[in-house]
């Protein structure tokens, strides 16, 4: 199996003067990590490439800035935040045919403020890396059940190489039991269609959590195996886990402002 990991939202909590920025324009309420398990990433690449080429050839999109090759956006690969609504709808149409299963774990950044205030001496990049590693560990717990070799591809984050830290997070999550062997690497969405897939799933989850907008999530909900809200401790100190049989909805989720 092949597993593709990406993030949504941002880890920003404070500005340079120490004021809380969570939820202000351009700053997300949440930070999440997702993994898409794909049985056939080569087939997924063919399907998404064919779709993109068809859209680029459609006269309806002629002259659209994001569709121009020099823009490095939709013409290069799909990215839900940058794609036009019409393009987004077409991508969501084909996601079901890729047989992906997806797991997401996220933190509510407002819940992180008290601990972050007492830890202000730590560099913001280290705090972000620590948060990312925590979510990687959580999202992989119990995620790999079959024996054999598993390749885990992380979306590249900046220029730093954090393979050792990520390997430790995976080791804590997966252990050395019946899941078999796993290898890891980093890549970019234009090179690995699986990263485009997980990006779209994360975007749909984030829209539901942060904007109470569930129409996109409804298109992919059957492929979501886990959404783990680590800061909704109303019934479990370990957080609220949604999945098949108890799927995430706007009505069930804890409000962001509570």
Q: Could you report the per-residue pLDDT of 154-196, keeping only the tens digit for each? A: 998 765 557 788 888 888 887 754 456 888 899 999 999 999 9
Selection from 140, 250, 240 nearest residue 204 by Cα: 250
| Rg of the chain on CA atoms, in Å | 18
Beta bridge partners of 185: 153
Q: Where do the domains of the chain lie, and which CATH numbers do they carry? A: 2-242 (3.30.420.10)
Q: Rounded to two decimals, what is the model's pTM?
A: 0.92
Selection from 242, 249, 240 nearest residue 108 by Cα: 240
Q: Could you report the per-residue pLDDT of 39-54, keeping only the tens digit for each? A: 999 999 999 999 999 9
Residue in this structure with the two tokens 């972000």, named with its chain if needed:
128
3-state secondary structure 82-130: CCCHHHHHHHHHHHHHHCCEEEEEEEEHHHHHHHHHHCCCCCHHHHHHH
**Would you say residue 88 has pLDDT above 90?**
yes
Q: What is the C-alpha separation between 195 and 36, in angstroms, rounded?
A: 8
Beta bridge partners of 108: 30
């Amino acid at each position: 199996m092949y597993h593709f990991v990406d993030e949504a939202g941002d880890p920003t909590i404070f500005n340079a003067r120490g004021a809380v920025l969570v939820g202000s324009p351009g700053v997300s309420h949440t930070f999440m990590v997702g993994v898409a398990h794909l049985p056939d990433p080569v087939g997924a690449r063919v399907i998404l490439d064919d779709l993109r080429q068809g859209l680029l050839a459609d006269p309806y999109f002629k002259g659209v800035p994001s569709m121009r090759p020099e823009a490095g956006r939709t013409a290069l690969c799909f990215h839900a935040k940058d794609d036009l609504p019409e393009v987004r709808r077409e991508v969501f149409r084909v996601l079901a045919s890729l047989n992906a299963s997806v797991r997401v774990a996220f933190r509510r950044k407002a819940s992180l403020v008290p601990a972050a205030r007492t830890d202000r001496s730590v560099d913001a990049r280290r705090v972000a890396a620590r948060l990312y590693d925590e979510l990687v560990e959580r999202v992989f717990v119990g995620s790999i059940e079959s024996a054999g070799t598993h390749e885990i591809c992380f979306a590249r984050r900046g220029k730093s190489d954090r393979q050792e830290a990520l390997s430790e997070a995976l080791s804590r999550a997966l252990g050395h039991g019946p899941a078999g062997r796993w290898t890891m690497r980093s890549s970019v969405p234009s090179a690995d269609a699986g990263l485009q897939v997980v990006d779209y799933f994360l975007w749909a989850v984030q829209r539901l959590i942060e904007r109470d907008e569930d129409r996109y999530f409804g298109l992919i909900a059957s492929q979501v195996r886990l959404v783990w809200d680590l800061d909704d401790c109303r019934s479990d100190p370990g957080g609220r886990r949604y999945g098949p049989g108890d799927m995430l909805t706007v009505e069930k989720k804890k409000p962001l402002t509570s």
